Amino acid sequence: MEAALTILLDGLQFSSYLFIVSAGLTIIFGVMKILNVAHGSFYAWGAYTAAFFIGKFSDMGLPDALGFLIIVAAAIVVGVILGFIIEQGILKHMYERDEVLIVLATFGLFLVLEDIILIAFGTDPYFAYQPMALLDSVELGGITRDVYGMTLIGVAAVVAVGCWWLLNRTKWGTLLKAVIFDREMGISMGINVPLVYTLTFIGGAILGGLGGAYIAPTISVAPGLGTEVIVLSFAVVVVGGMGSIVGAAIGSLIIGILRAIAVHELPQVELFVVFAVMAIVLVFRPEGLFAPAKPRKI
Amino acid sequence: MFNDRTAKFLLLAALVICVGGAFAPNWIVNQFMFGFSRALAILGLMVLWRTGLVSFGHAFYFGLGAYAVAILDSKLGVSDVFLRLVAGAVVAGVAGFLIGFIMRNYRDIFFAMLNTAISMVLFGIVVKTESLGSTDGFAISASTIFGLSPETKYPLFVIITLIGLSAALAVNFYLKTTFGKLTTAIRDNEIRVEYLGFSVAHAIHLKYTISTILAGGAGALMAMSLGQVDPESMINWTVSGELVFVTILSGPGNVIAPFIGSLVFEVLRTYAFELAPQAWQLIMGATFLTIIFFLPGGIWSLIEKLGGKKNAK
Amino acid sequence: MQNSSSILEVRDLLKTFGAVVAAKDINVDISQGEIVGIIGANGAGKTCFVNMVTGYLAPTEGSIKFEGTELVGLGTRKITHAGISRSFQVSQVFHSMTVSENLMIALAIANNRGTDALSLMDTPDLRLKLDAVLKRYKLETQRDATVSALAQGVRKLLDIAMAVVSKPRILLLDEPTSGISVEEKFDFMDIVMGALKEDGVTVLFVEHDMEIVERYVSRVLAFYQGEIIADMPPKKALADKKVQEFVIGKEHHKKKK
């Protein structure tokens, strides 16, 4: 039973940070029809920024609890600054162009941002374990787990509920859904679509940054973070359906739990299984499991 | 086949390069070997790009080609350069032909993503498999040519150049056939092509298969040039990204473009690593954005504008 | 009415999209060489009919026989090979290529079947055919112009010319004069119908413009709410009560394009 519980909790934790990142990616795709490769950079930047400042604050002797504040602040700062610069500086000028070309541009941005991390933060890994150490560990069903890891699940849940509430219970959400469904209609209804685009991109970026910032205390923050997470997020978004938050949640769960099972039972297939699922979904149901309905254009 | 300007230029250039290579220092010879090996894959991706398709997963075929050489070497002791090349191209080509049945029904993002997924499946397998060298990869013994073991890299360099020449001439011819002309047409208006009576699915399947054969050959040549294989530099999605980058950098205008683009890429990368190792990705990314915004036709379009002496199609 | 020289026989065609009935009880026999006008208000089922005959849409029920062969179930490609072509309301051409290149592709596809598709496309033989088409459709002066820079009228000419190079026995034109100015429409149709007459092609065209219909067709099919409400020569059709109420009445109230 302990093994099953370990797998379940590992899976949920993994799904959680994947969900936070992928929710941002899928919303950006749903609204703007852009598959943002640079999303991996938001994650990496969030992780590095959080780790850097957690380390600095710790050196200065400030209380470890501030770490949580730093994490949230890092996500917001990364999301707002990077999101704004990218959307206004590059993407805004490309909306009329081929969607694959835009993806390539985001790939170019990804490369640039990855290197700026190297230049800004260096190649040595950062460790920012303080918030995790602060919360200590707990015994659950015969196994020991970090409380921090469990809070990650909580954060993901909050993000999920928050997104649902935003989309379904606010006026802003209705506007977003209108633009997701049909951008032209949105414009003709008087929605300020450029503003929606900018805010959506920043929002998505914040989520990407949050995923990275929150995971930072549990890993060694080193170069290459973004590269790995971006293909996993793609897998989630493809499986769940591009543009669907529910899809991102289900997709993260499927991928997360599958991976946890693989890691514990059959490590050789750990990477293989995730992408095999992605390939299978693409072959049999390319829109994903929960893609939002697309209007029929004759 | 040898009638047009492009073909004549290719033949001349190949001659000059082969002769020049005998006197050039080793590092230049290496640049050309790596560049031309990669150019083969770019040639295939260029055909797809003209058809409006971008694959973000051709490292799958590149890696298959490379690892086919490595496995043949370690398990069967095959060292002949031509056998290795054919093995790489055939393995990748067969895989591409089979996968092509599915791939030919996809477009845009889905086409790109499905290729990525498949390539990462292979990456995942290789990285976790000890007998395939996992993340370290493994070394390949030197290639022999008709049983002879050359002392320098020069013979391999000549062979790669000639293979590149042959591939370029073949693709150049292909692009002038009815099948080949259906690249831009499909990109512009698929429905009309079907209504005119041609199967778009068949056309795409053929182009895809050609591109996978070329990518496999490229991987094989690269493996032989480097003397080793490893998943990180040959199968990971970042490698696919690099291939796409060089394709866009080169431009789709002519079969000569991939060779120029690949050489520029090699030189750029070597110098970037020497001057500022931290900045290679930055340079690549910035160049990518510059091309997308200011020079969508790639380096070739620049050459066309400046020179005007090379034929466009 | 069974006609021994009917090349197109449509029987009990039905097309539904869920609860919407786009076409119903369509029964028509077209004879070799006829020029038929298909009229009706927007949404009456004209384009739906064209889409079904050319294989773009599959009918829910019914049969379409061309020279005895059942067309239902074949795709657009096979139907083109069988000898039926169409032009489009919004011209479907290759916008980044020149007029000549567009036509060469159409000619190549029509002439280079099977393994021929792997031989050089640009042959002297094909060039001769290209010159002939350019002349027929008065496109010579535009031969090297890129399509995206062309006027609407020239694009439509090209669209139709491309449909004709495969030497179809039936040609369906979808609103050939839509988008063409009032002054030019007769010249345009003269060119098109003149070129088609030479080949003895059976032509069906969808039109909103009654002047065009009167001038060029020998028979009119009037559609209303998915059904054919009249099938008669143009003068009779335009005088028919039902046609006047359900088709022309609406036409006169429509704004001139």
Other CB atoms within a 10 A radius of the CB of residue A104 amount to 25
Q: Given this model, what pLDDT does residue A23 score?
A: 94
Q: Given this model, what pLDDT does residue B128 score?
A: 85
Q: Which residue in B has a C-alpha nearest to residue A238's C-alpha?
A: B113
The whole-angstrom distance between B284's CA and the closest CA on chain A is 7
For C88, residues 6+ apart whose C-beta sits below 8 A from its C-beta are C159, C174
Dig out the tokens for A114 from the structure: 């990855």
Burial class (CB in 10 A: 0-12, 13-18, 19+), C167: exposed
Q: What is the ipTM of this complex?
A: 0.88
Average pLDDT over every residue of C150-172 = 90
CA distances from B184 to B78, B102, B111, B215, B306 (A): 41, 22, 17, 21, 24
Q: Which chains touch A (3 or more CB pairs under 8 A)?
A: B
pLDDT tier for residue C257 given thresholds of 50, 70 and 90: very low
Provide the β-strand partners of residue C230. C222
Residue B258 pLDDT more than 90? yes
Q: Given this model, what pLDDT does residue A243 score?
A: 81
Residue A294 pLDDT more than 70? no
Provide the β-strand partners of residue C37. C205, C220
Percentage of chain A lying above the pLDDT 90 cut: 37
The whole-angstrom distance between C114's CA and the closest CA on chain B is 10
| The CATH number of the domain covering residues in C6-83+167-253 | 3.40.50.300
Mark yes or no for CB contact C97/B197 under 8 Å.
no
Q: Given this model, what pLDDT does residue A298 score?
A: 29
Mark yes or no for CB contact B197/C77 under 8 Å.
yes
pLDDT tier for residue A293 given thresholds of 50, 70 and 90: low
Mark yes or no for CB contact B181/C108 under 8 Å.
yes
Average pLDDT over every residue of A223-229 = 88
Which among B216, B198, B210 is positioned nearest to B171, based on CA atoms? B210
CA B230 to chain centroid: 17
Residue B88 pLDDT more than 90? yes
Phi, psi for C116 (deg, rounded to 5): -60, -25
Average pLDDT over every residue of C133-157 = 89
**What residues 192-221 of chain B have any CB closer than 8 A to a CB of chain C?**
192-199
Mark yes or no for CB contact B282/A119 under 8 Å.
yes
Q: Which chains touch C (3 or more CB pairs under 8 A)?
A: B
Q: Given this model, what pLDDT does residue B309 score?
A: 52
- Any idea where the domains of chain B sit in the sequence? 5-306
CA distance A232 to A254: 12
Q: Given this model, what pLDDT does residue B308 score?
A: 61
What single-letter DSSP state applies at residue A146? Answer: E
Which among B289, B191, B228, B224 is positioned nearest to B84, based on CA atoms? B224
Q: Given this model, what pLDDT does residue C1 score?
A: 45
Mark yes or no for CB contact B192/C92 under 8 Å.
yes
CA distance A106 to A98: 13
For B132, residues 6+ apart whose C-beta sits below 8 A from its C-beta are B67, B71, B125, B126
Q: Given this model, what pLDDT does residue B311 score?
A: 47
Find the CB nearest B124 among A110, A115, A271.
Answer: A271
Task: Give contacts of B131 with chain A, Cβ < 8 Å.
Answer: none
Dig out the tokens for A277 from the structure: 């699922």
CA distance B84 to B74: 12
Percentage of chain B lying above the pLDDT 70 cut: 97
H or E segment and range at residue A292: none
What pLDDT, in 10s, does the model give residues B226-238? 999 999 999 999 9
H or E segment and range at residue A92: none
Which among A81, A82, A57 is positioned nearest to A69, based on CA atoms? A57
Find the CB nearest B286 among A112, A118, A274.
Answer: A112
Dig out the tokens for A95 from the structure: 């909306």
Mark yes or no for CB contact A278/B289 under 8 Å.
no
Average pLDDT over every residue of A258-283 = 87
Which of A149-158, B126-135, C141-150 has the weakest average pLDDT?
Answer: B126-135
Mark yes or no for CB contact C112/B192 under 8 Å.
no
Is the CB of residue C117 less than 8 Å away from at least one CB of chain B? yes
Q: Angle at the Cα of C149 (from C144 to C150), degrees rounded to 5?
A: 75
Dig out the tokens for A233 from the structure: 């997020």
Mark yes or no for CB contact C94/B182 under 8 Å.
no
Is the CB of residue B313 less than 8 Å away from at least one CB of chain C? no
- How many angstroms separate the first and last alpha carbons of chain A? 55
Q: Pick the residue of A270, A275, A287 with the most B CBs within 10 A to test the interface with B by mutation.
A: A275
Q: Pick the residue of B186, B191, B192 with the most C CBs within 10 A to test the interface with C by mutation.
A: B192
Which among A82, A80, A84, A53 is positioned nearest to A69, based on CA atoms? A53
pLDDT tier for residue C252 given thresholds of 50, 70 and 90: low
Is the CB of residue C92 less than 8 Å away from at least one CB of chain B? yes
Is the CB of residue C86 less than 8 Å away from at least one CB of chain B? yes
What pLDDT, in 10s, does the model give residues C217-246? 999 999 988 888 888 898 888 888 888 888
Task: Give contacts of A105 with chain B, Cβ < 8 Å.
Answer: 288-289, 292
Q: Which residue in A has a C-alpha nearest to residue B285's C-alpha?
A: A108
- Any idea where the domains of chain A sit in the sequence? 2-284
Mark yes or no for CB contact C105/B181 under 8 Å.
yes
What pLDDT, in 10s, does the model give residues B195-212? 998 999 999 999 999 999
The whole-angstrom distance between B254's CA and the closest CA on chain C is 16
pLDDT tier for residue B62 given thresholds of 50, 70 and 90: very high
User: Residue type for A204, please?
Assistant: G
Mark yes or no for CB contact A234/B116 under 8 Å.
yes
Mark yes or no for CB contact C105/B191 under 8 Å.
no
Residue C173 pLDDT more than 70? yes
Pairing mode of beta strands C69-70, C61-66: antiparallel
Q: Is there a contact between A202 and A22 (Cβ–Cβ < 8 Å)?
A: no
H or E segment and range at residue B252: none
Phi-psi sector, B227: left (phi>0), alpha (psi -120 to 50), beta: left
Find the CB nearest B197 among C92, C104, C166.
Answer: C166
Q: Is there a contact between A9 and A145 (Cβ–Cβ < 8 Å)?
A: yes
Phi, psi for A99 (deg, rounded to 5): -65, -30
Q: Given this model, what pLDDT does residue A183 score?
A: 76
Mark yes or no for CB contact B116/A101 under 8 Å.
no
The rounded radius of gyration (Å) of the Cα atoms in chain B is: 19
CA distance B301 to B253: 7
| The CATH number of the domain covering residues in A2-284 | 1.10.3470
Q: Given this model, what pLDDT does residue B5 score?
A: 86
Q: Specify the length of chain B in residues.
A: 313
Find the CB nearest C77 among B173, B179, B199.
Answer: B199
pLDDT tier for residue A295 given thresholds of 50, 70 and 90: low
Q: Which residue in B has a C-alpha nearest to residue A117's C-alpha?
A: B278
Q: Which residue in C has a C-alpha nearest to residue B50's C-alpha?
A: C96
- DSSP output for C173-192: EESTTTTS-TTTHHHHHHHH
Average pLDDT over every residue of C39-68 = 89
Residues of chain B by 3-state class (helix, strand, coil), percent to 5: 75, 5, 20
Average pLDDT over every residue of C84-107 = 92
Average pLDDT, chain C: 86
CA B108 to chain centroid: 20
Q: Given this model, what pLDDT does residue B1 score?
A: 54
Task: Give contacts of A119 with chain B, Cβ < 8 Å.
Answer: 278-279, 282
Mark yes or no for CB contact B178/C112 under 8 Å.
yes
Q: Pick the residue of B105, B178, B194 with the most C CBs within 10 A to test the interface with C by mutation.
A: B178
Pairing mode of beta strands B228-229, C35-40: unpaired
The whole-angstrom distance between B276's CA and the closest CA on chain A is 10
Which of A89-93, B96-100, B122-126, C3-7 has the weakest average pLDDT?
Answer: C3-7
pLDDT tier for residue C128 given thresholds of 50, 70 and 90: very high
Task: Give contacts of C97 with chain B, Cβ < 8 Å.
Answer: 184-185, 188
Task: Tally C-beta pairs within 8 A across B and C.
Answer: 78
CA C194 to chain centroid: 15
Average pLDDT over every residue of B255-277 = 90
Q: From start to end of C125-187, where are the E strands?
A: 170-174
pLDDT tier for residue B188 given thresholds of 50, 70 and 90: very high
Find the CB nearest A100 among B108, B124, B125.
Answer: B108
What pLDDT, in 10s, does the model give residues A168-187? 888 888 888 888 777 777 78
Mark yes or no for CB contact A99/B109 under 8 Å.
yes
Is the CB of residue B282 less than 8 Å away from at least one CB of chain A? yes
Is the CB of residue B241 less than 8 Å away from at least one CB of chain A? yes
Mark yes or no for CB contact A272/B248 under 8 Å.
no
Task: Give contacts of A107 with chain B, Cβ < 8 Å.
Answer: 241, 244-245, 285, 288
Phi, psi for A190 (deg, rounded to 5): 90, 10
Residue B55 pLDDT more than 60? yes
- Any idea where the domains of chain C sit in the sequence? 6-83+167-253
Q: Pick the residue of B54, B60, B111, B120 with the most A CBs within 10 A to test the interface with A by mutation.
A: B120
Find the CB nearest B109 among A35, A90, A115.
Answer: A35
User: Residue type for C166, please?
Assistant: S
What pLDDT, in 10s, does the model give residues A207-220? 999 999 999 888 88
CA distance B55 to B51: 11
Which among A158, A161, A195, A204 is positioned nearest to A35, based on CA atoms? A204
Mark yes or no for CB contact A107/B279 under 8 Å.
no
Q: Is there a contact between B53 and A98 (Cβ–Cβ < 8 Å)?
A: no
Is the CB of residue B186 less than 8 Å away from at least one CB of chain C? no
User: Residue type for C245, please?
Assistant: E
Average pLDDT over every residue of A126-154 = 82
Question: What is B5-306's CATH topology?
Answer: ABC transporter involved in vitamin B12 uptake, BtuC (1.10.3470)
More confident residue, B198 or C251: B198
Q: Given this model, what pLDDT does residue A296 score?
A: 43
Pairing mode of beta strands C202-206, C35-40: parallel
